[in-house]
Copies of this chain bind each other. A is one copy, B any other.
Amino acid sequence: MAGQKYIDGKEVATHNSRASCWIIVHGNVYDVTEFLDEHPGGSKIILKYAGKDATQEYDPIHPPDAITTNLPKEKHLGPVAPDTVQKVEITVTDEEKARLQRVSQRPSLDEILNLHDFEAIAKQVMPEKAWAYYSSAADDEITNRENHAAYHRIWFRPQILIDVTKVDWSTSILGHRTSMPVYITATALGKLGHPEGELNLTRAGAKHNVIQMIPTLASCSFDEIVDAAQPGQVQFLQLYVNKDRNITKRIVQHAEKRGIKGLFITVDAPQLGRREKDMRMKFTAEDPSEVSRSGSDGVDRSQGAARAISSFIDPGLKWADLDWFKSITKMPLILKGVQRWEDALKAYDLGLAGVVLSNHGGRQLDFARSGIEVLVEVVAKLKEKRGLTFPNEKFQLFVDGGVRRATDVLKAVALGATAVGIGRPFLYAFSSYGQEGVEKALQILNDEFEMNMRLLGATSIKDINADMVDASNLSAHVAAIPGDRLYDANYESMQHARLREVKTKM
- Which residues on A are within 8 Å of B, measured CB to CB? 101-102, 104-114, 116-117, 119-121, 123-124, 135, 139-142, 144-146, 148-150, 152-165, 267-271, 273-274, 276-277, 279-280, 283, 288, 291-292, 294-295, 300-303, 306, 314-319, 321-322, 335, 337-340, 342-343, 364-369, 404-405, 407, 411, 443, 447-448, 450-452, 454-456, 470, 472-473, 475-482, 484-487, 489-502
Q: Are B369 and A102 in contact, CB atoms less than 8 angstroms apart? A: no
Bound complex: CA of A482 vs CA of B477, how far in Å? 10
A470 near B475: Cβ-Cβ < 8 Å = yes
Complex contacts, A148 vs chain B, CB 8 Å: 484, 487
Task: Tell me, rounded to whole Å, the shortest Cβ–Cβ distance linking A343 to chain B.
Answer: 5
Q: Given that A110-B301, A274-B448, A407-B139 are known contacts, is A486 also in contact with B494, CB under 8 Å in the complex?
A: yes
Please determine whether A113 and B497 come into contact, CB atoms closer than 8 angstroms.
yes
**Do A268 and B365 form a contact, CB below 8 Å, given A276-B494, A492-B123?**
no
Q: Is the beta-carbon distance between B367 and A482 smaller than 8 angstroms?
A: no
Across the interface, which residues of B come within 8 angstroms of A451, CB to CB?
271, 273-274, 306
Residues of B near A338 (CB, < 8 A) are 160
Distance between Cα atoms of A158 and B357 in the complex (Å) = 12
Q: By the criterion CB–CB under 8 Å, are A160 and B494 in contact? A: no
A473 lies within 8 A of B482 (CB): no
Closest 10 CB pairs of A and B: A120-B496, A145-B482, A108-B295, A365-B455, A116-B486, A152-B479, A105-B499, A160-B267, A117-B497, A165-B316
Q: Please give the distance in Å from A426's CB to the nearest CB on chain B.
A: 15
Is the pair B274, A447 in contact by a Cβ cutoff of 8 Å? yes
Is A267 in contact with B454, judged by CB distance below 8 angstroms? no
Question: Is there an interface contact between A316 and B163, defined as CB atoms closer than 8 Å?
Answer: yes
A491 and B136 alpha carbons, distance in the complex (Å): 10
Q: Check B316 against A149 for contact (C-beta < 8 Å).
A: no
Q: Out of B112, B153, B270, B485, which one reaches A454, CB within 8 Å?
A: B270
A369: nearest residue on chain B (CB-CB)? Answer: B155
A117 to B294, CA, bound (A): 19
Q: Are B479 and A155 in contact (CB under 8 A)?
A: no
Is there contact, CB below 8 Å, between A161 and B494? Answer: no
Shortest CB distance A238–B (Å)? 15
The residues of B that contact A495 with a CB separation of less than 8 Å are: 277, 280
Closest-CB distance, A44 to chain B (whole angstroms): 14
Copies of the chain in the assembly: 4
Contact, CB under 8 Å: A455 / B159: no
Residues of B within 8 A of A315 (CB): 163-165, 454
Q: What are 17 inter-chain pairs, A to B, with CB distance below 8 A?
A: A102-B499, A111-B280, A111-B283, A120-B497, A121-B496, A140-B486, A155-B477, A156-B339, A158-B365, A160-B338, A160-B343, A163-B315, A164-B315, A277-B494, A280-B495, A479-B480, A479-B481
Distance of A115 from chain B, by nearest CB (Å) = 9
Candidate in A314, A339, A443 with the most chain B CB atoms within 10 angstroms: A339
Q: Knowing A155-B369, A340-B158 touch, does A117 contact B164 (C-beta < 8 A)?
A: no
- Taking a contact as CB atoms closer than 8 A, the residue among B295, B369, B450 that contacts A110 in the complex is B295
Shortest distance from the beta carbon of A282 to any chain B beta carbon, whole Å: 10
Expressed in whole angstroms, the minimum distance between the Cβ of A275 and any Cβ of chain B is: 10
| A152→B142 contact, CB < 8 A | yes
Let me know if B105 and A140 touch, CB within 8 A.
no
Given B135, B150, B368, B484, which contacts A158 in the complex, CB threshold below 8 Å?
Answer: B368
A339-B160, A343-B159, A490-B119 known; A473+B477 contact, CB < 8 A: yes
CB contacts (< 8 Å) of A481 on chain B: these are: 142, 145-146, 149, 152-153, 477-479
How far is the CB of A151 from the nearest CB of chain B, in Å?
8
State whether B317 touches A163 (Cβ < 8 A): yes
Please state if A473 and B484 are interface contacts (CB–CB under 8 Å): no
Q: How near does chain B come to A272, taking the closest CB pair, in angstroms?
A: 9
For A365, the chain B residues whose CB sits under 8 A away are 156, 158, 407, 452, 455-456
| Residues in B whose Cβ lies below 8 Å from that of A165 | 314-316
In Å, the complex CA distance between A466 and B270 comes to 22
Name the B residues within 8 Å of A479 (CB-CB).
149-150, 152-153, 478, 480-481
| Most chain B CB inside 10 Å of its own CB: which residue of A119, A152, A160, A318 | A160
Cβ contact within 8 Å between A120 and B489: yes
